[in-house]
A and B are shown apart, each in its own frame.
Chain A
Amino acid sequence: MIVRILEEGQYEVPDSELASLEALDAELSAAIEANDAESYSEVLSQLVERIRSSGTAVAPSTIVTSELTIPNEGTSLDEMKRLLASGESVEV
Chain B
Amino acid sequence: MGVMKRLTGIVQAKANKVMDRVEDPRETLDLSYEKQLEQLQQVRRGVADVATARKRIELQAQQLQQSAGKLQDQARQALAQNREDLAREALSRRAAISTQLDGLKAQHDQLVEQEAKLVATTQALQARVESFRTQKETLKASYTAAQAQTRIGEAVSGISESMTDTGLAMQRAQDKIAQMQARAGAVDELLASGTLTDLTGSSDPLQAELDKTSAQSQVELELAQMKGQLAPPGPSGALPSGTAAAPAEEADDGDSTAEEAETVDALPQAAPPATPTPAVSDAAASDNLFSLGSEGGQS
Q: Which residues of A contact B (CB under 8 A)?
A: 3-4, 6-9, 21-22, 25-26, 28-29, 32, 59-71, 74, 79, 83-84, 86-87, 90-91
Contact = CB atoms under 8 A, between A and B. Distances in A.
Given A9-B124, A29-B2, A90 B13 contact: yes
Interface of B: 1-14, 17, 113, 117, 120-121, 123-125, 127-128, 130-132, 135, 154-155, 157-159, 161-162, 165, 168-169, 172
A64 B130 contact: no
Q: Is the interface of A mostly helix, strand, loop or mixed?
A: mixed
29 contacts: A3-B4, A4-B161, A4-B165, A6-B169, A7-B172, A8-B117, A9-B124, A21-B4, A25-B1, A28-B2, A29-B3, A32-B3, A60-B123, A63-B155, A64-B154, A64-B158, A65-B161, A66-B8, A67-B8, A68-B4, A68-B7, A70-B3, A70-B7, A83-B7, A84-B10, A86-B14, A87-B6, A87-B9, A90-B13
B202 to A, nearest CB: 44
A70 B4 contact: yes
Nearest to A74: B113
B168 A6 contact: yes
A19 to B, nearest CB: 11
Of A6, A66, A69, most buried by chain B (CB within 10 Å of CB) is A69
Q: Kindly list the 3 A-B residue pairs having the minimum CB-CB distance in the complex, ordered from nearest.
A: A61-B131, A87-B10, A60-B124
B169 A7 contact: yes
B51 to A, nearest CB: 18
Contacts of A59: 127
